[in-house]
Amino acid sequence: MTARAATTRDESLPSAYSEALEARSIGPLWTALHVLLPQERVTRALPHRWRWAEVRPLLAEAARLVDIEHAERRVLVLCNPGLEGAYAITSTLYAGLQILMPGESAPSHHHTPAALRLVVEGRGAYTTVDGVKCVMEPGDLIITPPMRWHDHGHEGTEPVVWLDGLDIPLVRGFDASWASPMRPACLPETDTDSSEDEFTGAGLVPRRPRYAATGYPQVRWPWRTVRRALASLAAGAPAHEPVVLRHVDPTTGGFPLATMGSEAQWLRPGEATRAERRTAGRVYQVVEGRGESRVGDATLAWEEGDTFVAPPWHWVHHRNLSATVPACLFQFNDEPALRALGLWHEEIESSST
Ligand code: GTQ
């Protein structure tokens, strides 16, 4: 079901009356009540998949056609086909694929929207978050909290591509989107991030952190660590239980960002998950493997590097199409924002499908 445009004119009323209302910026509620408050949740966003095999050459072409100095951020934005060309993948979330070439750097800025990045391909690039150098290797997650200075650099020899997830549409919904002017990227003050030395073991946090207290103690989750944790969890988990890890602030156990959450899921060979739906919208990046996901009425086949979106309140289940190797999905979402606003709900299908 799709959302309809609201109308504020009641055709059964004298047109002079409707005009009198309109002239005074007044609308009758009774023509719009069930659009404003539908009896089912609705979204214009559609389930959709972007194939890495198709996007990759377009990114390579962008790198040839568009100077980084001109672009500042060389990003191809994934626009949900249901959202009429808006720079939005769901009504609240933005996703784009950013490419940086060897030797390039993208200047520093900060902004009110929060950002996270999941590395898709290539080595040698890094993001600096408030002076902390965060190395980018395939599968790594890096967060850029609101109002933290960040720039991107590249010391390697191959193109690097990552998925950017931001809450731009949500923040714009509050008329709160703002960014600083750009300034040249500067050399990182610290060569390692806290995931390399302070948060290397689950359940352990340093008594005295040596990084500046910013409210965001961990900004990077190396895929190496996440993958190892998923593999251990998968090895011991009963077959019917999904293998999912959430990224958390290790000092609180809460979400690392106030608006966006993220998870990594391991699908065992041949595994088919139970359907569930959430009020959060979800953007998936395929880190490893090949499979298909049912999202509402759509079946989205995917392989490594693909990105796909599950709009809010769509039933979602996944299947690993390999009988021999695992598949790994990264996912980011707007769950923390929904929880903070009292809008979080989820349902899990009781029998497996
Ligand atoms: O890398 O700072 O995809 O500011 C959109 C806005 C990336 C970034 C995006 C941004 C960035």
Q: Give me the CATH number covering residue 116.
A: 2.60.120.10
Task: Calculate how far, in angstroms, residue 178's C-alpha sits from the geometric centre of ligand 1.
Answer: 12
13-62 pLDDT, tens digit per residue, is: 999 999 999 999 999 999 999 999 999 999 999 999 999 999 999 999 99
Q: Is the CB of 127 under 6 A from ligand 1?
A: no
Average pLDDT score over residue span 147-161: 98
pLDDT at residue 8, rounded to an integer: 75
Q: Is the CB of 146 under 6 A from ligand 1?
A: no
Domain membership of residue 202 (yes or no) is no
Domain membership of residue 353 (yes or no) is no
Which atom of ligand 1 is least distant from the CA of 152?
1
Domain membership of residue 11 (yes or no) is no
In the chain, the percentage of residues whose pLDDT exceeds 70 is 97
Q: How far is CA 259 from CA 22, 76, 165, 330, in A?
A: 37, 23, 11, 17
Calpha distance 323→269 (Å, rounded): 5
Q: How many domains does the chain have?
A: 1
DSSP tag of 252: T
Q: Is the CB of 163 under 6 A from ligand 1?
A: no
Task: Calculate how far, in angstroms, residue 101's C-alpha sits from the geometric centre of ligand 1.
Answer: 16
Task: Calculate how far, in angstroms, residue 185's C-alpha sits from the geometric centre of ligand 1.
Answer: 14
Q: Mapping DSSP to helix (H, G, I), strand (E, B) and coil, where does residue 71 land?
A: helix
Which atom of ligand 1 is least distant from the CA of 179?
4
Task: Count CB atoms within 10 A of the CB of residue 118.
Answer: 26
For ligand 1, atom 9, the nearest C-alpha belongs to 164
Q: Is the CB of 105 under 6 A from ligand 1?
A: no
- State phi, psi for 113 to the nearest 5 degrees: -65, 150
Task: Calculate how far, in angstroms, residue 23's C-alpha sits from the geometric centre of ligand 1.
Answer: 42
Calpha distance 338→260 (Å, rounded): 9
252-261 pLDDT, tens digit per residue, is: 999 999 999 9
Cα within 13 Å of Cα(186), Cβ side:
10
The arrangement of strands across the sheet holding 276-278 comes to: 298-303, 290-295, 316-320, 276-278, 346-348
219-251 pLDDT, tens digit per residue, is: 999 999 999 999 999 999 999 999 999 999 999
113: domain range? 48-178+220-348
Q: Pick from 128, 166, 167 the residue to mutate for probing ligand 1's pocket: most ligand atoms within 8 Å of its CB.
A: 166
CB 117 within 8 A of CB 150: no
315-346 pLDDT, tens digit per residue, is: 999 999 999 999 999 999 999 999 999 999 99
Domain membership of residue 316 (yes or no) is yes
C-alpha closest to that of 249 among 121, 129, 145, 99? 145
Helix (H) / strand (E) containing 27: none
Q: Which two tokens stand for residue 345?
A: 């709900």
Which atom of ligand 1 is least distant from the CA of 109?
2
Domain membership of residue 240 (yes or no) is yes
Q: Is the CB of 118 under 6 A from ligand 1?
A: no
Q: Is the CB of 339 under 6 A from ligand 1?
A: no
pLDDT at residue 7, rounded to an integer: 60
Domain membership of residue 69 (yes or no) is yes
Domain membership of residue 206 (yes or no) is no
Per-residue 3-state assignment (H helix, E strand, C coil) for 303-318: ECCCEEEECCCCCEEE
Calpha distance 286→52 (Å, rounded): 10
Q: Which residues pair with 121 in a beta bridge?
A: 161
CB 100 within 8 A of CB 172: no
Which atom of ligand 1 is least distant from the CA of 117?
1
Domain membership of residue 344 (yes or no) is yes
pLDDT at residue 4, rounded to an integer: 46
pLDDT at residue 351, rounded to an integer: 63
